[in-house]
Structure 1
Amino acid sequence: MELYAHPFSSYCQKVLVALYENAIPFEFRMLSPEHAQNMDELARLWPLRRMPVLVDGSRTVFESSIIIDYLDQHHRGPVRWLPDSPDAALEVRMLDRFFDQYVMTPMQRIVADYLRPAEHRDAYGVAEARKLLDSAYAWLEPTLAGREWAAGGAFTLADCAAAPSLFYADWVHPIPDARGNVRAYRNRLLARPSFARAVDEARPYRPLFPPGAPDRD
């Protein structure tokens, strides 16, 4: 298999966690201006040019949640990304969407604003994104009470989404001390070997973080 991705991308890290957890062999296809051939191939495989993209033989799979679902079906390992119980699987999928839409998306909106020319900055949009992150942290605090991982005792698709979401969100909009369950959960994610590996592999690219990467984690 081949994964077209960049190590510093949050959605790419989400898939890398799943691959590393089950020690699935793959070839990393770096997406950056210095790797023009890979960029051209990405455009051929997926004209929207969004990463990551997984190629498995003649099959091309895009969107991080779908890639992890695909891995669970076709390259299953000891860590299952979706429970067999339909109700339990529904909760995992719900939490996966929660982290992508209500943590990852507002975090990226804040980051993207730093890339705009000063005269085109969106102060209102950034303020709304910060409000959404505050609401997300507030909802997570009681939800995570008594849980080791997002959906309970097992590490799932939801945790693959949560890891990069909370990692970068805390950089741009710190999780308050009052949200102790959320902060502790983020620390557990950082200590998970699969995500720790993804974070370490991305360290050389921290100068690329538009708001400036904090000197921690």
Structure 2
Amino acid sequence: MTTRVAVLDYGSGNLHSACRALEAAGASVVLSADHAELRSCQRLLLPGVGAFAACMEGLRCVGGDELVHAWVDEGRPLLGICVGHQVLFEQGLEHGLEVPGLGILPGTVERMEARRLPHMGWNTVQAPADSTLFHQIADERFYFVHSYAVRRASSDVHAIGRVAWSEHDGDRFVAAVEQGCVSSTQFHPEKSGRVGARLLSSWINQPMG
């Protein structure tokens, strides 16, 4: 049976490229903001591009914050991408403002301290040995576009189950997370070619529960 993946449409994210990538990875995709329609699917993808605060506002406008919390509380598989990954954390610090996130993961999203920003282009990821998301994916490069991240210095990030790291210009940051039913990536798997498709396929085909 084909896995049905819901993509939450709240006005942010590379929605159509994400949908195409999921379909290429073998999923049947539902792009919607309608909660009932989304909840008929087995998995949920949370996209996001741009500013942390704008994404949180967009989420709240469609009740996406409530949907995501309920989804995770029920133990249903969720994948956050880029700012969709960032808003899963406790807060974002942008332009001197502290913006509450969804608080599903511990940690703070802040501006990176690299000399060259944004971090844009292909970079390697160091995944934990017991990673499911990166199963049989090693020494590959993924596509990043961002200036903010959960950095190594975040005191709470070490409480997360499984963390994959990357480094840009001497600044180490969280590249991906796996904690229970929640997975998320700072990079864009939908823009990462064949290796991104393999990662999406791995997530789509992970056993439920």
When normalised by structure 1's length, the TM-score is: 0.29
Which of the pair is proportionally richer in strand? 2
Q: Which of structures 1 and 2 has the larger relative contact order (alpha carbons within 8 angstroms, sep 6+)?
A: 1
Report the structure number with the largest CA radius of gyration.
Answer: 1
When normalised by structure 2's length, the TM-score is: 0.30
Which of the pair is proportionally richer in helix? 1
